[in-house]
Structure formats: C-alpha cells, structure tokens
Amino acid sequence: MIITALIENTSNNKDLKAEHGLSLYINQGKRKILFDTGASGAFAENAAQMKIDLSDVELMVLSHGHYDHGGGLKTFLKENSKAKIYLHSNAFGDFYSNKQNGQTSYIGLDPTLLPDNRFVFTRGVMNLEDGAELFSDIEGTEFCPSGNSDLLVKTEEGYRQDDFCHEQNLILRENGKTVLIAGCAHNGIVNILERFREKEGCFPDVVIGGFHLYNRSFDRNESPELVAEIGKYLSATGAKYYTCHCTGTVSYNQLKTLMGEQIDYLSTGSQLTI
C-alpha cells in the first residue's frame, strides 16, 4: 500500500501546491482510493505533477462535510467518471465557522453538486470491498478539540455547535497490517481509537490524519496540557502515527517531543509505503 499526500497545509516540494486542506491518494495495486479532495482543485494539479492519474480511482471517501476536505469534489467529478463517492448522509449539512470579527462563515460543501448518482450516503459502519470499512458511530467525549466550539451547523432554530455526526473514518487492511485514516478527528482522535478498539479488539498498526489541535479561525493552538494527555494515550497504543493538516505545527512539535519516532508529519508530496 502506497499513500501519497496530494494536498496538505505544507509542501515538501516547491513545485507542488499547498493549502489549508487534505487529500490522500492510496494505491493498493488492485485498487486506487482517494481520501478527501482538499479545499480546491489544487490536489488534482499536484496529482498531475506527480504522474498520478485520478481517472483510475475506483473509490473515493469524503471524511466530513467541510470545504477543506470536499472543496475539490467538483474537480474530482470532472477528472473521474467511474468512482463511487462515499460520504456520510449528513455531509451536505449547513456548516459554519465563527470568525474573529464576530461573523460566521459558510464552510460546507457546494450544494449545487446534488443530486449525483455517484454519491453513496453512509451511516454508522459500512463494509466495503477487500477489507475496507467506514465507521462514523463515535460516542466517546474524551479530549475533544476545543476548536469544535467555533464550528456550527445552521438549523431552523438558528446556529448550534456541530456534533460531527457527519464525520467518518476509513479502515484499510493489507498484508496483515491495519491502517486507520481520519480527516480531522473532530470527534477526538482518542475517541476514534477507542471505537476502533471496541470494534476490532486491538489498535491499528498505522494511523494517518489531522487531529484538530489548531483553531485556524482564531490562530489558537490546543493547550499543552491537553496535547500532553493525548500524546500519552497515543504512545500507549503502540501504533505508528502520521499526522498533518489541522494538528498544527506547534502541537505536532509537542507530540514529536513526547512520542519520538512513533509520530511523523505528512506534507504535500510525502509518500508512505505500508
């Protein structure tokens, strides 16, 4: 399994674009998967630079209904004519973010993309082919990101805090290894891992994704105390971690100090072989 970061907040190559977003291309040989599309069409430009043919993708997963993960959906639909796109049934919610100026800003998906018969709407646990699985039924509340308080959903009664029921995680199995991929871990990476352990009876071998330890709207990092608690938990799982995007460089550096070789950063252009 080869996993390539098509877009992330940083880049390890001057010829590849970076943006506040995430997109991962997963090559399992017999199957090509796209996990998220970043905030724009930049992921596709980077794919072309890296000689990755997005038209070969057979399965696409959208982690949740925010623009920085699904802003490139329209581009993907143009680049690829066959892949089914798996997204939670609540992913097209009316999502907003508080801003420093006291206003709220729309951060959801493009509603004009609906309807589309390539969308497969999910809930709870969904088994895919060849050992792949999606799950969104997170109930734990330990160590949730404080930045969630500024992320909202608009209802008929007004704004309320998003409960992130639209967020899902991907499990991949290959050659005796289990990989867990999360988009932003708004539900809390600890709670996601605890749900995984409840389902599987063990922890994954590899975990990839953002941990949402940075509030971009207010340029605020998660408290060092909370990051230390999360780092202690992650270390005890024995898994290898590759984090990125909304973890933030300050919190990542703290986790790196705590966890050493057990955690690394995934930038645009990075490639993992698992």
Asked whether the predicted pLDDT for residue 258 surpasses 90, the reply is yes
Dihedral angle computed from the Cα positions of residues 46, 95, 33 and 123, in that order, rounded to the nearest 10 degrees: 180
pLDDT bin (cut points 50, 70, 90) of residue 206 is very high
Q: For a pLDDT cut of 90, what percent of the chain falls above it?
A: 96
Residue 129: the pLDDT is 84
Amino acid residing at 162: D
Q: Model confidence over 162-200: pLDDT tens digits? A: 999 999 999 999 989 999 999 999 999 999 999 999 999
Q: Model confidence over 104-139: pLDDT tens digits? A: 999 999 999 999 999 999 999 999 988 899 999 999
Show the DSSP H helices in 22-136 as ranges.
Answer: 42-49, 67-70, 73-79
- pTM, to two decimals: 0.97
Residue 131: the pLDDT is 86
pLDDT bin (cut points 50, 70, 90) of residue 56 is very high
Residue numbers of the domain that contains 43 = 2-273
Residue 241: the pLDDT is 98
Mean predicted confidence (pLDDT) in 210-235: 96
Nearest-CA neighbor of 74 among 46, 38, 47?
Answer: 38
Report the domain count for the chain. Answer: 1
Count helices and strands in the chain by DSSP H and E runs = 6, 20
52 or 101: which carries more pLDDT confidence?
A: 52
CATH number at residue 82: 3.60.15.10
